[in-house]
Structure 1
């Protein structure tokens, strides 16, 4: 099941979900790892990744770090 359908299914059931929005341009790797640990503790359901600029290779680096350190869907 993709994330969109998962959100719709849980909405039908009245279940609330918690997502963390990560802006790749605003965190370095160490800050992102800290965010991942906090998200795990908070039992976040998803990471959403995006921002207005997306400079350099920040998106690729951010996604790699999330995939390496988190088991939360992106």
Structure 2
């Protein structure tokens, strides 16, 4: 599991039919990054080993910096 492998301790939304409709998911995998108001601030579509991991970490670190 990606979350366990990378020791991520923040919330993941598990997909359900309603979540897919609410966020207009059209491809898998898809990563949505939401702010504290549940507004989408960044979307990553697809996965490329290494590249996507770095992009996810970069986005999360930037979001943390903005709220410290």
TM over 0.5, yes or no? no
TM-score between the two structures when normalised by the length of structure 2: 0.32
Q: For CA contacts below 8 A with separation 6 or more, give which structure has more relative contact order.
A: 1
Larger Rg: 1
